[in-house]
Amino acid sequence: MKIITYNVNGIRAAIKKDFIEWLKSSNPDIVCIQETKAQPEQIPSLDFEEAGYKSYWYSAKRKGYSGVGILTRKEPDNVVFGMGIEKYDDEGRFLRADYGDISVISVYHPSGSSGELRQAFKMQWLDDFYNYISELKKERKKLIISGDYNICHKPIDIHDPIGNARNSGFLPEERQWLSKFIDSGFIDTFRYFNKNPHNYTWWSYRRKAREKNMGWRIDYNMVTKNLERNLNRAVILSQVYHSDHCPLLLDINFQ
């Protein structure tokens, strides 16, 4: 199974940049999408169906904001929309699809870059998300949690760790949370296969950051450790341009 996570920074904008044509040519089995910035009725689900994908969408109440989706060739056994926590579900940040004993989650962690209030919201989300996943693992033991975590884990994951040391997305408390999350029983699949620097999934639109590869690695395909032997490869698709993010591919056996 080829699973891709991709913050598209607006699904309608990505479609105008030939997202569906790219989808057909790359032929993943599952795509976890973040930041759809659209209501379900604004998304051309029939076009995805014609491309061979069932589509599921969970949008924010606020129009043009946040939102997650899952495109899948194989119909899931069950789909769960949201976490059952109103303040997060109102922002459309969590969508889960179950395939046998494996669950695939598309998640969009909040950004704290707009100010102190949103940073506090982000830190509360991180605590609540950790607790939610800890409980979910008791019921669904095999998890693939794909999405935009809005956190660089280590200095190797960001182009300027010193200059960004006090910026949201690379704060010590955020990085400590990510370490705790991984230590609770997850594998950062890209780092499992690739220990090299200068591998990023997001670049600012300013200062020709992408051209200069001044990026951040904030998108992840995390899997529970009980799926380690199923892993085949993980690759950042940095040459795909529909967004300020790029897709992240995980090749994994579903057996």
Active site positions, annotated: 148
Specify the 3-state DSSP secondary structure of 98. Answer: strand
CB 54 within 8 A of CB 24: no
Give the separation between CA 171 and CA 211, rounded to whole angstroms: 25
Give the separation between CA 136 and CA 134, rounded to whole angstroms: 6
Please enumerate in sequence order all residues whose Cβ is within 8 A of that of 206, keeping only pairs 6 or more positions apart, or say none: none
DSSP state of 205: S
Give the separation between CA 168 and CA 83, rounded to whole angstroms: 24
For the record, the structure tokens of 21 come out as 């044509």
Give the separation between CA 199 and CA 55, rounded to whole angstroms: 29
